[in-house]
Amino acid sequence: MLNIVDKKDIIKLLKEEADNKPKFLTYSAPVSFFDINLVNSNVDLMELTAKLEKSSLPFTVLISGPAGTGKSYYLRYLAHRIGKNVIEKTAAELFSRYQGEPAKNILNLFKEAEEKNAVIIFDEIDSFLSDKHLIRSPHEARLVNECLVQLENHPYPIGGTTNYLENMEKACIRRFKIQAKFDYLRKDQYAYVYRKTFGFQPPKDIEQLMKLTPAIFSLAAEKVSLENVSSDEKRVFEIFLGEAKKSTVRNILEETDKTYENILINNAALYTTPVSDNYNKILTGFVKVITDTGHGSGFFISNDGFILTNKHVVKEEKLVTIELFSGRQVAGEVIRTNSLDIALIKISAENKVYSMPIRTREINISSTVFSFGNPGNKNQVLSKGCITRYTNVNNTQRIETDCFMDCGSSGGPLLDEYGNVIGVNVEGWTKGNANLGINLHLSINDALRVLNIKVKEADNIK
């Protein structure tokens, strides 16, 4: 794996020669081996390593990115290549409850590095070189200041890793002259890493998985080894899939909503001819949302993969399956929900999708409308009706129609006579198990508002 060894073994491993045979970086792999194809970096790491290996000058390297992407491992590998030992420290090892002790620990650390001809690696460096607004005590402030001084003057290489670059003090970031970002594996890397790890060709649907890291493969490899099932191709994939799902959910839960704090979507050009003329285009923007307990409907509101559906469709799930018009299934991440029964899902922008045009202007009662959904065991059912009235529920507008809806239609779009989205299917009035033919839809304006989504380009239908 790209996360490796106990600290006691690091110096011993640094002295080992690289194995000429390719191997995956498991916990027991020698640090002298590094495979660029096992990480996703924004810089050419082999070129960077070669340059630093030839240079006699000290350098500072900061690597940011999600957990498990190989940040610490690369720094250990780099130390090996330039012929130096490694000293790794975390905030917990540097902090002390005694006044002045953290700064003293820093001084002793840099002195030790000089004595041992070692590269210092600060793991989770953001936890003590925090943005000044996040610093909680004078002790932390002194630690930051002492680190800044040492980063400027220390005569040996220094490396740092962080999962949260945005939490670091800007002055600290500038002290690192070389910066790289490691990210989740690209989908085109999945098959390579899978073969490298397990020796089997992966199933084609491996590309549906999200947020995979080298660490996930390594954890699965360890479990395969513990169960002694390395020759059982089916069991190997079951173990890997289990680790992938757990890690993906964990990564999603750890990431804040900040990534999508301000969502601005570009509205598609509105349809101005009858819905029958635009039906095939409308189909491409419609999806089935599949969960562990059932299915519902949804639709694209942008070409970069944002989907609207109902909250009661996704419930508390963080990952769902999205079935596209073509029948292809991809992973969807639930990134936002609201108690007004609306939810926002995101699929990878790598998937080519077509958004439905959004009409933000209200249309008259008795106007012809169409409800689109996946009722029961039927797919892509378009039903015609009219607006019977507008109601207000919890300060949001509900559109009442007599369009046919049934279980599975939830989350689908309500369309005007041309096929532009004016609302989202929410619920139907029933008596017993019978639908009474009166259904409610949340207006598209309120759906976007409560999810904090802004639309660029107002509609052009008067």
Q: 194 vs 3, 74, 323, 446, CA distance in Å?
A: 17, 20, 25, 44
* Residue 103 confidence (pLDDT): 67
Same domain flag for 380 and 305: no
Residue 382 gets the label, from left (phi > 0), alpha (psi -120 to 50) or beta, of beta
* Residue 430 confidence (pLDDT): 59
Same domain flag for 444 and 420: yes
Residue 61 lies in a domain: yes
Same domain flag for 27 and 118: yes
| Nearest one of 342, 437, 347 to 383, comparing CA atoms | 437
- CATH for 112: 3.40.50.300
* Residue 229 confidence (pLDDT): 94
Last residue of a domain, one of 346, 378, 410: 346
Radius of gyration of the CA atoms of the chain, in A: 27
Same domain flag for 78 and 107: yes
* Residue 249 confidence (pLDDT): 62
* Tokens found for residue 54: 């030839």
Residue 2 lies in a domain: no
Same domain flag for 13 and 153: yes
Residue 36 lies in a domain: yes
Quick check: 316 and 339 in contact, CB under 8 A? no
Same domain flag for 271 and 246: no
Quick check: 312 and 337 in contact, CB under 8 A? no
Residue 47 lies in a domain: yes
Q: What is the pLDDT of residues 247-284, one digit of tens each?
A: 766 665 555 444 566 788 888 889 999 999 999 889 99
Residue 440 lies in a domain: yes
- CATH for 293: 2.40.10.10
Residue 149 lies in a domain: yes
Per the DSSP assignment, residues forming a β-bridge with 385 are 369
Residue 128 lies in a domain: yes
Give the total number of structural domains in the chain: 4
Query: What length does the chain have?
Result: 462
Residue 451 lies in a domain: yes
Same domain flag for 404 and 440: yes
| Number of Cβ within a 10 Å radius of residue 416 | 23
Same domain flag for 70 and 40: yes
- Structural domain that includes position 312: 267-346
Last residue of a domain, one of 183, 217, 233: 183
Same domain flag for 244 and 276: no
Residues of the chain under the 70 pLDDT cut: 1-34, 91-92, 94-103, 127-144, 146, 248-261, 350-351, 430-436, 457-462
Last residue of a domain, one of 208, 231, 254: 254
Same domain flag for 431 and 299: no
Same domain flag for 228 and 291: no
Same domain flag for 35 and 149: yes
Rounded distance between C-alpha atoms, residue 319 and residue 329, angstroms: 13
